[in-house]
């Protein structure tokens, strides 16, 4: 399974300059000139519509404007402009948003072709999810969005929301038949679950954010604060053997910059970000460390075996 690294265009570090990165995802809202030239990246480029940021920041962008941006960029995948429902939305509001996402995809596909990937959203009403899943049956690939609040059990998520999201993703993999991407779920604890379901790809932008907060990601799930700065949340320090385990994981998977590891993860944001990016991409074949996600992993493996 592919884990694409989401990155701001002007940001550093650039992991693809140090080790192989199978795909990079950039936000269309940031595009001012050729992103490949800005990033120094020649691999597979994916374009995110910015739908989540638009929702969170109260921004607006119309389909025609997004099509203009996409036409200027040489990318392999262009994610359609979506309007995600929240877990707390009543069914009629969720249906309107999902309908709008479908209409956006139809317009964008007509303008740009099959490289435009539709986004189907997780929502607690399974019949609604299945109805829109059938509408996307003719697309070459499919993205699943709005799963994060369910998996992280955010406010408004129903009881059993993790299992609900996993069952919907499994249904999409089984019924759609083509490659399925799950948006924003590239956590080391979650990627093994998605891989067990047969998901083709996911993405993560948290590798930089966690590093900025002074944290390193642990293989197969978990994070530890390794700097001397004061933080208001996520203050868990490394337990005995955890950093040694992280070092051995990096060494075993060919991380190219292990000299001074223990001091550099404490002192350097850029180095922590490189470590986190590598861990994100290489944790796909793990068994999740956190008990809740290990349980989901077992559920995913069981559901996949039912598909055959």
User: How does pLDDT run across 168-208, given as a tens digit for each residue?
Assistant: 999 999 999 899 999 999 999 999 999 999 999 999 999 99
pLDDT of residue 50: 77
pLDDT of residue 54: 60
Tally the C-alpha atoms within 13 A of residue 267's C-alpha that lie toward its C-beta: 5
For residues 119 and 171, what is the distance between their CA atoms, to the nearest angstrom? 15
Below-50 pLDDT ranges, the chain: none
CATH class for the domain made up of 2-206+290-307:
alpha beta
Cis bond leading into 13, ω under 30°? yes
- Asked whether the beta carbons of 191 and 169 are under 8 A apart, the reply is no
- Asked whether the beta carbons of 162 and 137 are under 8 A apart, the reply is no
- Asked whether the beta carbons of 208 and 273 are under 8 A apart, the reply is yes
Q: What percent of the chain has pLDDT over 90?
A: 83
pLDDT of residue 32: 86
pLDDT of residue 152: 86
**In the chain, domain spans:** 2-206+290-307, 208-282
Helix axes 126-135, 91-112, angle to 10 degrees: 10
For residues 192 and 184, what is the distance between their CA atoms, to the nearest angstrom? 14
pLDDT of residue 234: 59
pLDDT of residue 302: 87
pLDDT of residue 61: 73
pLDDT of residue 154: 73
- Asked whether the beta carbons of 117 and 104 are under 8 A apart, the reply is no
Tokens of 64: 């025609």
pLDDT of residue 45: 97
Q: Going by C-beta distance under 8 Å and a sequence separation of 6 or more, which residues neighbour residue 207?
A: 5, 15, 217, 273, 276, 277, 279, 280
- Asked whether the beta carbons of 45 and 24 are under 8 A apart, the reply is yes
For residues 49 and 62, what is the distance between their CA atoms, to the nearest angstrom? 11
pLDDT of residue 180: 98
């Amino acid at each position: 399974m592919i884990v694409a690294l989401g990155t701001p265009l002007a940001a550093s570090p650039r992991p693809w300059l140090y080790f192989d990165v199978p795909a990079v995802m950039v936000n269309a809202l940031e595009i001012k000139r050729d992103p490949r030239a800005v990033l120094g990246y020649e691999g597979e480029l994916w374009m995110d519509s910015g739908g989540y940021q638009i929702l969170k920041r109260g921004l607006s962008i119309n389909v025609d404007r997004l099509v203009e941006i996409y036409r200027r960029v040489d990318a392999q995948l262009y994610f359609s402009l979506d309007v995600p429902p929240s877990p707390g939305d009543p069914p009629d509001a969720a249906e309107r948003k999902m309908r709008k996402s479908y209409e956006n995809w139809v317009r964008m596909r007509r303008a740009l072709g099959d490289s435009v990937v539709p986004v189907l959203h997780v929502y607690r009403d399974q019949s609604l999810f299945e109805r829109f899943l059938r509408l996307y049956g003719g697309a070459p690939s499919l993205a699943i969005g709005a799963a994060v609040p369910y998996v992280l059990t955010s406010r408004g998520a129903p009881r059993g929301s993790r299992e609900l999201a996993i069952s919907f993703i499994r249904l999409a993999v089984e019924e759609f038949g083509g490659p399925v991407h799950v948006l924003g779920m590239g956590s080391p604890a979650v990627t093994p679950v998605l891989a067990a379901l047969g998901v083709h790809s996911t993405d993560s932008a948290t590798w930089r954010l966690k590093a900025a907060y002074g944290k390193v990601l642990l293989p197969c799930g978990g994070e530890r604060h390794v700097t001397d700065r004061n933080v208001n949340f996520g203050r868990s320090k490394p337990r005995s053997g955890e950093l040694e385990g992280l070092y051995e994981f990096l060494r075993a998977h060919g991380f190219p910059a292990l000299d001074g590891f223990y001091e550099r993860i404490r002192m350097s944001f850029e180095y922590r970000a490189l470590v986190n990016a590598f861990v994100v991409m290489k944790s796909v074949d793990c068994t999740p460390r956190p008990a809740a996600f290990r349980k989901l992993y077992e559920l995913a493996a069981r559901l996949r075996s039912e598909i055959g």
